[in-house]
Structure 1
Amino acid sequence: MGCHAAQPRHGGKQVDGMHMEGMAGAERSRAGVWLMVLLLHGVLGSWLLGQTLQPAATALPTSIAVQLLPTVAPLAPAVPRPVSPTRQPPRPLPALAQHAAARPPRAPAVLAATHAAAPAASTTAPAPALAGNADTRALPVSAEPAQAPQPTSSEPGFAADYLHNPAPGYPPASRRNGEEGRVLLRVRVSAAGQAEAVEVYHSSGFSRLDDAAREVVAGWRFIPARRGGSAIASSVIVPITFRLGH
């Protein structure tokens, strides 16, 4: 019976030793698992770090190659050629300069302007044929009021065929006495083309010839002057020549 009591005590010690060995093995296994986890984390961290650093490495600028050239010996300075002295032109004598300055400049010749008695005209028109060898020729005319000429202006006229202006008759007394001459009449023409006033601008030398011309021209029709497309009043010189046939 004493043998049976001692066996249980030895069996408990074996169980405790096995339990301790099991715990030590479990601790070793747990440590190996943690070591594997740490290794995996290290590998994963290295891979992620390589991915983040790769774009920075590609963004580096292109390298510039530097090449050393052989040293070139300095060129010898060019020796300037001797320049021959230029001759100075002789200075003019003071006497000649004073003589030239003493001559006064010639004054430009001034031409005296002559003014015609009759005003200038842009156009001339032939007068209708007169009976009794009396003849009229258009003289320069002037428009009133006097203004600067314009491109669209025109002077009055009296020699158009459609006006049917009659020629003055030759006075019988002047024909018998052999009176001849040329009279200039100044006619004030209205915007409607009628003679408002007729006066002797230059006499023929015979009152009968002047009166005959003035009476006929007072009934004439005229083409009024125009300025800017509108008819205006103006004056015109009408020449009438009385001449006997020989």
Structure 2
Amino acid sequence: MNVLRRVSWDRTAGLLLVVALHGVVLYGLWAARVIPPPTAAMTLFVNLIEPAPIPPKPSVTPPPRPAKPLKRETPPPPEPHHHLAANTPVVSPTDAVEPPPPPAVTEAPPEPAPLPPAPPAPPEPVTLGTELALTCPERSPPAYPPLARRLGETGKVVLRVELDETGHVVRAGVLASSGSHRLDAAALAAVRTWRCNPAQRDGQAVRSVATQPFNFTLEGR
């Protein structure tokens, strides 16, 4: 029995010691402000519930007022026009009346001067019935082109030549070609250097036209 009592006493003493230690620890924590006081601890768990916002009242727009009709201003009545009678002086038969001035005489514009007569057209050139060479004391035969000679080109070319009043050749062209443009060019170059006697009409020198043939041949053919 003594043993049992001793054991229960030891347990009771141990429990008291544990409770005392817990009390000391709690006091120390409370003194160090680690554990908040009961009032502060209670405020940590208080949640403020805000009231629900009151919805705003819908704004009611007043209906637009009807526009007032514009008053039409009536124009004032027109003033009556008074016809003014002009006082025309009465002319007695004895009063002298000045005659109106005579109408102004306008001079007629001068007639334009007559245009000078147009110069007469030059007469047509006289066509000679013979070859041009018969009327040209200064003439030289055409030179045979070297290339045409090497190529063996031959042929007859007929030229139409026009002379002025002094006997100079003013125009020359090919009437019939020789078949070689080199031979034709040689004949034209030669006839442009000729000096001829002008044709006569009624004792005056006139322009004339004649033909001139040139025959290009090679010796030995």
Output the TM-score relative to the length of structure 1. Answer: 0.36
Between structures 1 and 2, the one with greater helix share: 1
Output the TM-score relative to the length of structure 2. Answer: 0.40
